[in-house]
Structure 1
Amino acid sequence: MSRKKRDIPVFEHPIIETHCHLDYLKDQPLDDILAEARRVNIERVVTIAVSPDNLARVRELSQVAPWLYGTQGIHPHDAEQYSDAVEAEIRQHGADDKIVAVGEIGLDYFYDNADRAVQREVFRRQLQIACDLDQPVVIHSREADDDTIEILRDFEATLTRRGVIHSFTSGPGLARYAIDQGWCLGFNGIATFNKAENVRDIIRMTPIGQILLETDAPFLTPVPYRGRENAPCYLPFVAEKVSEVKEIPVDEVVRTTYHNSLRTFHRLAGASA
């Protein structure tokens, strides 16, 4: 039996989409995707770089509208494509006005698309870029909790702007470490999945002042639209689920996560939407 679709809720207070991949969305033209996001009061969107092949495209997308922003970084899946030239590109553009973080960087031992030692080296090198540029970071960590903590500990004193561990599906140990160190945790449509009680447990333990909302579009479409390509316009469903799990009003979730986003990605705070 298919779950009945319902209208996307629209909240009075705007929302910030902190993590999506606009260049990966294929089901609609970009103009339509952005129009739908604005219709549901998405005020700003951050589109994320993941590979040498899309660093420039993310920068281009960040210039499409005043309320679009990007990152620069190499995902652990593509760690073996990292080079001095790629690092130079990230360094050169990591300080651009519309680039709000170094990312998506980190470790992924679930798919192991790159050698783990290479992943760790590339993770460290990109954390150093963030330190040097005084930028926050967007971290991907999957099945790599212990090594993620070990590496982040080496940067506790020098990484003055923390950032977010996005699409958080890790265990309570990494969650507690991140919370104690002042990181935000990013939650998306996974929180709405029937079998994702582990993620909802982490939402319960995370202070609302350290939660960010994201879609990770085109992936991880939330209930009740699973089966469709994800898009920023579905972000209100994530806000509703966080509200339900934490048993606080959805307006409080929307307002607090909005300010969390501005605090985490400091270049958003002074920007005009």
Structure 2
Amino acid sequence: MLIDSHCHLDFEALASDIDGVLARAAAAGVNGMVTISTHVEKFSTYAAIAERYPNVWCSVGTHPHHADQELHIQVDDLVRLSAHPRCIAIGEAGLDYFYDNAPREAQATGLRRHIAASRITGLPLVIHSRQCDDDMAAILVEEAGQGAFPFVLHCFTAGVGLARTALDLGGYISFSGIITFKNAEEIREVAKFVPADRYLVETDAPYLAPIPHRGHSNEPSFVRHTAEKLAEVRGVSLEQLGRETTTNFYRLFSKAGAV
């Protein structure tokens, strides 16, 4: 059994055929998935999807690309919305210095608010981190000093240093289809040393389709290809990887086991 810990079922490429997407996922042995929030103001859309399908959960948060558009969203708003029974995480929030679609100050402000909501609710924070290793590590260390909070670095593309900082703080690391790409050797090296109780798999669908589907729209069923490559890298069977990542999912996203 596999769980896609991060996808976007509200995006048109998936939403237009959501029943088919879920059927293909089930046929591939993918028994659950989290549709991740990119705009708090669209939370009702994510919640409706999760309410409709018993093996789909959702989160609440603002993607760093849109941080400046939702600076009016306060910690209390995140906490209130996260009480929805199908909402099992805060985020995604974080820093993205590759695109810099929002001012970096706004991204950092949003990230810290999401951390506060995670700390208050106990729900894990889904972190987006791209080309910002030093700043991300500094914020995580500083915020952890003010009180622990559960988190996962989703779609891991960072360096070894940030990976070790996250692990030292009790965080999880999630691997996407990028791990199947030829130029992803550094990510595969990280995948080798992440403890067996601290890693997850995801698609980030409809983006980042793994080989052999690269160049096409991604979907949750394709997480199997990521899992197969990750199992190869870690030197374990696909069955063992499925058990480990599923156990890790329910440990981190503990609310999923209670709804």
Instruction: Output the TM-score relative to the length of structure 1.
Output: 0.90
Q: 1:61 aligns with which of 49, 72, 83?
A: 49
1:161 Cα shift? 4.1
* Partner SS, residue 144 of structure 2: coil
- Greater alpha carbon shift after TM alignment, 158-167 vs 32-41: 158-167
Q: 1:79 aligns with which of 63, 67, 74?
A: 67
Residues 37-186 of structure 1 mapped to structure 2, 5 A cutoff: 37-85=25-73, 87-157=75-145, 159-186=147-174
1:249 corresponds to = 237
- The 2-side partners of 1:69 and 1:52 are apart by 15
- Greater alpha carbon shift after TM alignment, 149-158 vs 185-194: 149-158
- The 2-side partners of 1:152 and 1:211 are apart by 18
- The 1-side partners of 2:114 and 2:180 are apart by 32
RMSD over aligned CA atoms reads 1.6
Mapped pair 1:189 → 2:185? no
User: Where does structure 2 lack aligned partners over 5 or more consecutive residues?
Assistant: none
Do the aligned residues in 1 keep the contact of 2:71 with 2:110 (CA within 8 Å)?
no
2:7 corresponds to = 20
1:5 corresponds to = none
What code does the residue aligned with 1:42 have? V
- The 1-side partners of 2:145 and 2:34 are apart by 27
* Partner SS, residue 268 of structure 1: helix
* Partner SS, residue 44 of structure 1: strand
Go from structure 1 to structure 2 and tell me whether the alpha carbon gap of 1:85 and 1:146 turns closer, same or farther (over 3 Å shift): closer
1:24 Cα shift? 1.0
1:130 Cα shift? 1.2
Runs of 4+ more than 6 Å apart: none
Q: 1:229 aligns with which of 206, 209, 217?
A: 217
* Partner SS, residue 237 of structure 1: helix
* Partner SS, residue 210 of structure 2: coil
How many equivalent pairs are there?
Answer: 258
* Partner SS, residue 247 of structure 2: helix
Do the aligned residues in 1 keep the contact of 2:175 with 2:200 (CA within 8 Å)?
yes
What code does the residue aligned with 1:18 have? S
- The 2-side partners of 1:159 and 1:257 are apart by 26
Provide, for residues 32-67 of structure 1, a one-character-per-residue CA deviation record: whole Å limited to 9, x for no partner: 111111112211110000124532211111111111
What code does the residue aligned with 1:35 have? A
Provide, for residues 225-270 of structure 1, a one-character-per-residue CA deviation record: whole Å limited to 9, x for no partner: 1122100011111111111111112211111011000001011123
**Percentage of pairs with the same residue:** 36
* Partner SS, residue 62 of structure 1: helix
- The 2-side partners of 1:159 and 1:107 are apart by 20
What code does the residue aligned with 2:154 have? H
- The 1-side partners of 2:10 and 2:155 are apart by 19
1:155 Cα shift? 2.3
